[in-house]
Amino acid sequence: MKKILYFLIALIAAIVAAFVTNNWLQGFDTPGYVLMGIGHWSLETTLSVFAVTQIMGFFILYFVFRGLGCLIRLPGQLKQRSRSVKFNRSQEALIAGLVDSAEGNWEKAENVLIKHASHSGAPLLHYLTAAKAAQSRGAIDKRDEYLKKASAQSPNSTIAIGLTQAELHLSGNEFDQALQTLTQLHSIEPSHASVLKLLHQTYQTIGDWDSVRKLLPSLHSNKVLMEAEIKLLETEAFSKLLRQSAETGDVEKIQQRWAEVPNYIRKISGISAIYFAAMINAGAGADIEDELALALSIDWDTTLLVLFGSVQSNDVLKQLAMAERWLSLHENDPVLLTVLGKLSIKCADIEKARHYLSQSIAVEPTVLAYQLLGDLLSAEGEQIEASQCYKQGLELASSEIVSHQYRVINTLAIGN
């Protein structure tokens, strides 16, 4: 519409110019003439006619050449317009695909995204979103196909494609494939936060705690996790590694692993207990007896106390004497009294054992104390008293089981 308006304005301007020029030249007494000759041909006309012809000729030739220019540019303009239309449709398809994916319409989202991916300004988003949709509906082959197309379409987006691929592998419990992808990404971008985060989560899932431990400095330096999260993860890693070494029953491996644990981790409640228990179970309790006694002297801990009582010492009398020294500080500790009774039995001091175990039961009855006292009485031929201890121990154990079940039921009821 604007072009037609411009044409009419230009035409009117040309007519007005021609009219004004003609009237101006007609005002002279001698209007003049123009003579043009080419070879044997000549053309003679008045100056006013020549001027009007020039004005109108210029107007006509200008628009003729302008029209030719438009015709020459027309194929390119049509092509550009077609591309623009396809681009707009691809953008609309991307939005529709994201919405369908969010709503769980996986197949619909996948189809609309792939259909318009080649004309999109962001084909990578189309293929990655389509890959997620394909996995959500269980089409693993399609997922891999879209990821390959994304890689071919955007070769410079290795990290983005790799992270999406790793996330999809993890969500599909394909841990080996996820680890392979993340390891490759880590070699490309060792400090990439998202790569490090997924890598440590994968190591945790597959139980590769040694790799988690080695990754901790990178997680800290690149601020992937908060300081408190790093400490918790480090504690968990060393705890798991100690348990894994304990399962081997190899004393040397257990000691090597313990040597790797930093001092500030060793001081955390429960960590040292794993090491001491592993050494005792591996038959090397005598090697850590003094270290365990020192730990108890510094920080009184019931678990460590029970472990101390389980040590197969080379000098049981010394072990008992050490435990008795703690009695002055923890006079009515039922666990200590039970341990003292157990050690007294090892030392064959029957009277002392009966005294400690009876005192422990008087302070706080436990199944273990009843069992130890019952075994002691049975060995001494006091079967009636032994049977009474066993009976009370069984009743206590049954009561504890009922109490535990009751707590579980109450917890479930509150949760519902």
Q: State residue 408's pLDDT score.
A: 47
DSSP for residue 285? G
pTM of the model: 0.67
Q: Are 197 and 224 in contact (CB under 8 A)?
A: yes
Query: Is residue 415 very low, low, confident or very high in pLDDT (cuts 50, 70, 90)?
Result: very low
Beta partners for residue 48, in sequence order: none
pLDDT digits (tens, 9 = 90+) for 79-133: 666 555 555 565 566 566 556 556 666 677 666 666 666 666 567 777 777 788 7
More confident of the two residues 31 and 330: 330
R_g over Cα of the chain: 46
Each residue of 289-327: b (16+ CB within 10 Å) or e? beebbebbeeeebeebbbbbbebebeebeebbebbeebe
Q: Can you tell me whether residue 41 is helix, strand or coil?
A: strand
Residue 259 has pLDDT above 60, yes or no: yes
Average of pLDDT values for 11-16? 65
240 closest CA partner among 269, 282, 208: 208
Domains of the chain: 2-35+43-84 (no CATH), 315-416 (1.25.40.10)
Q: Are 344 and 353 in contact (CB under 8 A)?
A: yes
310: its two tokens: 């389980």
Residue 363 burial (CB < 10 Å; 0-12/13-18/19+)?
middle
